[in-house]
Chains A and B, each alone.
Chain A
Amino acid sequence: DVKVTQSSRYLVKRTGEKVFLECVQDMDHENMFWYRQDPGLGLRLIYFSYDVKMKEKGDIPEGYSVSREKKERFSLILESASTNQTSMYLCASEIAVRGEQYFGPGTRLTVT
C-alpha cells in the first residue's frame, strides 16, 4: 500500500515563528501536493511539485514556500506564521498522470 506520512499530527506555534511541515512518500511518486483544509472552504491547493526541485503555485501560495530536494520528501514552510494560517494541512502524492492522489493523515497546526 502507498504510504504518505507527515511529520506531526498536531503542532502549536507562536505568531512569527518559522514552521516546517514535512511529508514523505514511499512509492516513488513524481507529483506531490500541499493542501490546507478549513471548515466551509474545503481543500485548497497551496503548492505542488512535479519533480525534484520543481514546484508550482496553487491557489493560495501567499505566506508559504516549499522545498523538494529529494523525490520522496516535500516540505511546506511557513516563513513567519500568522494566526490565519491555523488550519489542517494535508500532503498528497500521485504517480504522474495516474490520477489517484494518496493523502497523509494531516497536520493540525495552531498558531497562537
Chain B
Amino acid sequence: DAKTTQPNSMESNEEEPVHLPCNHSTISGTDYIHWYRQLPSQGPEYVIHGLTSNVNNRMASLAIAEDRKSSTLILHRATLRDAAVYYCILRDVGSGGSNYKLTFGKGTLLTVNP
C-alpha cells in the first residue's frame, strides 16, 4: 500500500482556518486521496476525497498538489466540534479484493482552542 505521512498533532483557534497537510510521494495514478476523521469515542467519519482536482464539500476542501505527491485538507472555520484525529488515506478503487480496505495510519490529532 502507498504510504501517507502526517504531522502527529496540530493546534488551531476556534473560527480560524486549519490546513492539515499530508505527504504521499509514492502515490500511484489510480490512488484516490481520502480523508476521514475520528472524534473521541466515535467511529471514523468520511470527510472528503479526490483524485487530481481540488474538491469542496460542506465539511471541508481538499487541495491536491499538481504532482499529487501531497495534499491539504482545509477546514475553513474550525469549531470545537472539529477536534478529532484526521486521517489521510490512499485508496485504489479501480480494483477490488483487498483494495476495498481502508488502511488508517496514526493521523493528525487536531486540537481546537476556544
Interface residues of A (CB under 8 A from B): 4, 31, 33, 42-43, 45, 48, 50, 56, 58-59, 90, 92, 97, 99-106
Q: Does B49 contact A (CB under 8 A)?
A: yes
Chain B residue with the shortest CB-CB distance to A56: B97
Residue of B44, B46, B100 touching A48 (CB-CB under 8 A): B100
**Given A103-B44, A103-B45, does the pair A58, B32 have CB atoms closer than 8 Å?**
no
Contact indicator A50/B44 (Cβ below 8 Å): no
Question: How far, in Å, is B3 (CB) from chain A's closest CB?
Answer: 12
Contact indicator B101/A99 (Cβ below 8 Å): no
Q: Does B29 contact A (CB under 8 A)?
A: no
In the bound complex, residues from chain A placing their C-beta under 8 Å from that of B104 are 42-43
Alpha-carbon gap, A58 to B103, bound state (A): 11
Residue of A43, A56, A104, A106 touching B102 (CB-CB under 8 A): A43
**Given A43-B44, A58-B98, A106-B43, does the pair A100, B49 have CB atoms closer than 8 Å?**
yes
Contact indicator B93/A97 (Cβ below 8 Å): yes
Q: Size range of the interface on B? A: 20 to 34
A-B contact count (CB 8 A): 53
Alpha-carbon gap, A97 to B102, bound state (A): 13
Contact indicator B101/A59 (Cβ below 8 Å): yes
Alpha-carbon gap, A105 to B49, bound state (A): 21
Residue of B43, B91, B98, B106 touching A99 (CB-CB under 8 A): B91
Contact indicator B93/A105 (Cβ below 8 Å): no
In the complex, chain B residues 69-114 whose Cβ is within 8 Å of any chain A Cβ: 91, 93, 96-98, 100-106
13 contacts between A and B (CB under 8 A): A42-B104, A43-B44, A43-B102, A45-B98, A45-B102, A58-B101, A90-B44, A99-B32, A99-B49, A101-B36, A102-B46, A103-B43, A105-B42
In the complex, chain B residues 7-45 whose Cβ is within 8 Å of any chain A Cβ: 32, 34, 36, 41-45
Alpha-carbon gap, A48 to B98, bound state (A): 9
In the bound complex, residues from chain A placing their C-beta under 8 Å from that of B101 are 33, 45, 48, 58-59
